[in-house]
Amino acid sequence: MTDRAQPPPATFESLGLSDVMLAALNLAGYQYPTPVQAGLIPRALTGIDVVGQARTGTGKTASFVIPILERMQLKHDIHHPQALVMVPTRELAVQVRDEAIKLSAGRKVHCVAVYGGKPIREQIEKLRKGAQIVIGTPGRVLDHLARGTIDFTKLKVVVLDEADRMLDIGFRPDIERILKRCPQERQTLLLSATVPPPIAKLAERYMHNPETLNFSPKDVAVETIEQFYFTVDPQKKFELLVRLISREKPKQAIIFCRTKRGTEKIFQRLSKKVKDAKIVAGIHGDMNQGARDRVMAAFRAEKIRFLVATDVIGRGIDVTTISHIINYDIPAFCDDYVHRVGRTGRMGREGVAFTFVAPDEGYELTRIEERINRLLKRGEMKDFDPSASPDIARVPAAADGSPGGEAAAAPPPPPSSMLRRPPKRYKRAL
Ligand code: ADP
Ligand code: MG
């Protein structure tokens, strides 16, 4: 099994593509294959199953659409779907369909997107007329299967695009039902930004000896980034943040919050705390694009040292100088943790991540630990009381060594991860 991406060949020609494909790529304005495409296309062309791990925006769509088109039989009367692409959202269904249409220039291929929220009749009509490539959300695909309006008997390729996202939003049972109704003799391609154990299991169950290609150095880096957690009452988080910053002196840090309002609030408060307010900025979806671009440009130029951000914005950030990630709020989804923490430790640099966990969020911490398959270390902050009760002032331990205020302010209970056994180690990591 290959674990690393091969260095990309320089051109699409060297991937052994047909003239009609090369012409379509030319028309699309794609001059060179992206590393994901250079790695995936030649392998997928041989018909083997492939798991491709790469972050968004790396050209994954064309990496499966090209082999689908190249392996398609467009002779005589084949009207039934030959390729099925499952995607998590309607928007993505439309986007992938459009890419497939673009890249099928010069061929008589029909691509149909099937997704919920649209009258099923239109889709049935399109399928009836003949569609070689079907792109759909699992729910709607299953709907068509149940109605008998889709025929998968001629299916040659099945693609699971954004597999991690699909599982996150609960499509697993639907996906499994669909896969069970696809021909055994098929090729399966799985694309995902992360390959956590549930994806690995899915691949193990429904794919034939898949080759894994990993194009996500940041995800690998997560294993080398030092990761700590602090159990802290929500009311004491800001104080902990300030203490952490003054202790750690980050070169550049992103402070992740769960909500736009929270992001704005922490940004305001932090601006007042630091000497030079210009080194602090906030970024979230309520800001207009111009303002967001300005913040990002200043962050890249290292004029901003502390960036308070929501996950949506945080995902796209690709700055190599980030030394610290501070999860002011524990992320709502495990994948967001991987994405957040992957912002640091890039290009082999050292990175450290701190996650603030409220006493009742131990379960969420455990889920993260299970997802990344390792335990976070417990963070230490000298003379800091993480509990909220203002009336129980923590008496510092007496200099003579007698027990000081230890009993007066018991620290909050440790998160459940400390009470449980370490997360189960999965035998088969893809
Ligand atoms: P991913 O699925 O990895 O997030 P996409 O397939 O959506 O990425 O591609 C991201 C963008 O890059 C799209 O706008 C796509 O048209 C463009 N793109 C893909 N491959 C190439 C290429 N080889 N050259 C130039 N642009 C490309
Ligand atoms: Mg994609």
Q: Is 24 exposed, middle or buried (0-12, 13-18, 19+ CB in 10 A)?
A: buried
Residues 6+ away with beta carbon under 8 Å from 132: 72, 74, 78, 79, 80, 81, 82, 83, 109, 110, 111
Position 318 scores a pLDDT of 65
Beta strands in 169-223 (DSSP E): 187-192, 211-214
Q: Running along the chain, 430 residues long, what does each successive block of 10 average in pLDDT?
A: 46 93 97 90 95 86 97 77 94 92 95 91 93 96 96 96 90 96 96 89 94 70 79 96 95 94 96 92 87 88 94 69 92 81 68 93 86 85 85 43 38 43 32
Q: To which H or E segment does residue 230 belong?
A: strand 226-231
Q: In whole angstroms, what is the distance from residue 43 CA to residue 185 CA?
A: 17
Report CA(66)–ligand 2 centroid distance (Å). 14
Report CA(132)–ligand 2 centroid distance (Å). 20
Position 244 scores a pLDDT of 97
> Would the CB of 63 count as within 6 Å of ligand 1?
no
Report CA(47)–ligand 1 centroid distance (Å). 22
The residue whose CA is least distant from atom 18 of ligand 1 is: 59
Q: Which atom of ligand 1 is nearest to the CA of 161?
A: 2
> Would the CB of 58 count as within 6 Å of ligand 1?
yes
Helical H runs in 318-411? Answer: 334-341, 362-372
Position 69 scores a pLDDT of 97
Q: In whole angstroms, what is the distance from residue 101 CA to residue 143 CA?
A: 24
Report CA(239)–ligand 1 centroid distance (Å). 43
> Would the CB of 416 count as within 6 Å of ligand 1?
no
Position 73 scores a pLDDT of 82
> Would the CB of 21 count as within 6 Å of ligand 1?
no
Top mutation candidate among 36, 61, 162 for ligand 1, by most atoms within 8 Å of CB? 61
Ligand closest in space to the Cα of 63: 1
Position 118 scores a pLDDT of 83
Complete domains list, the chain, with CATH: 13-214 (3.40.50.300), 225-420 (3.40.50.300)
Ligand closest in space to the Cα of 160: 2
> Would the CB of 30 count as within 6 Å of ligand 1?
yes
